[in-house]
Amino acid sequence: MPGLLNDTVCLVTGAGGGLGRAYAKLFAAEGAAVVVNDLGGARDGAATSESAAQAVVDEIVAAGGRAIANTSDVSTDEGAAAAIAAAIDGFGDLNVLVNNAGILRDKTLLKLDEEAFDSVMRVHVKSTFFCTQKFAKHRVSKGGGGRIVNTTSVSGMLGNFGQANYAAAKAAIYGFTRTSSIELQKHRISVNCIAPSATTRMTEDLPMFANVDTLTPDHVAPAVLFLASELCGEKTGWVLAAAGARMYAFRVVETAGRFKEETGGVWSPEEISEHWDSIIKL
């Protein structure tokens, strides 16, 4: 049966549950061979269980798809290398990478400690860096081509109460995506972001997700499939956002600003105050 990902090998990190599980299952249904990576951690990153990734593989195989499990910690150099190697050793290549693994350690800024800050930055940002770099080196060694989908969030793009560490990590992934998309364009590797909103164990206790059955991972998965498939074409560096029935995008905008002719173009703070409205006007 023709699928959007026929003859494609995909690695989805953190795919043992929640959004990643939905992506892996849809990718396999669209013809991809899928590496389901997950170390099976708790929401805050504590403890591990090897069964999470294997359970998703079992679901995919039962539905007639192709998948293998990988339980490495992709926030480490060796773990990311092992996840990429699992694809190449298991299926002979790797064409699509979805950097989805993540944890939450919410605390308001005044209570945030270094451990909660570092662990969230490490899991989100370093896993995205390690996996992206290794994936890109592999694709370049194959002559180019390929697709990367990174995961940012509303919190990273707009900010959210109680998530200074998480928002910093997700905004870092946005900046990383923009630069990677520019650098990898010449190798025909697209690098885009998904900003999902869905009820998972990560969000189920947040007020906007409580008792909501219209914000599911299955609403988000087709957006990630789009970014992972040839339908995405040459689009790169974008942030596609999916929340239930709503499909939208985040764009960072630059205002036209205002130029000063006098005093060699040097603005005084008082002049900035006086012209604030025209400086920030879109």
Q: Give the active site residues.
A: 166
**Gap between the Cα atoms of 19 and 132, Å rounded:** 19
Rule CB under 6 A: which of 108-127 touch ligand NAI?
123, 127
List the one residue from 26, 36, 38, 242 that touches ligand NAI (CB under 6 A).
38
Q: Tell me the helix, strand and coil percentages in the chain, rounded to 5.
A: 45, 15, 40
**Two structure tokens written together for 133:** 């770099």
Sheet holding 246-250, edge to edge: 66-70, 33-37, 9-12, 96-98, 146-151, 189-197, 239-243, 246-250
Size of the site for ligand NAI (CB under 6 A): 33
Toward ligand NAI, which CB reaches closer, 112 or 140?
Answer: 112
Candidate list 11, 74, 148, 171; residue touching ligand NAI; CB under 6 A: 74
Q: Single out the residue of 37, 119, 165, 229 in contact with ligand NAI (rule: CB under 6 A).
A: 37
- Write the CA distances from 264 to 133, 261, 273, integer angstroms: 44, 7, 19
Q: Are 70 and 37 in contact (CB under 8 A)?
A: yes
By CB under 6 A, tell whether 65 contacts ligand NAI.
no
Any contact of residue 146 with ligand NAI (CB under 6 A)?
no
Which residues have a Cβ under 8 Å from the Cβ of 137 and sit 6 or more positions away?
none
User: For ligand NAI, which stretch binds (CB under 6 A), given 58-66, 133-141, 176-184, 198-206?
Assistant: 198-206
3-state secondary structure of 148: strand
Smallest distance from ligand NAI to CB 7, Å: 26
Complex with ligand NAI: residue 60 or 272, whichever CB lies closer: 60
- Interacting residues toward ligand NAI by CB under 6 A: 13-14, 16-20, 37-41, 43, 45, 52, 73-75, 100-103, 123, 127, 151, 153, 196-198, 200-203
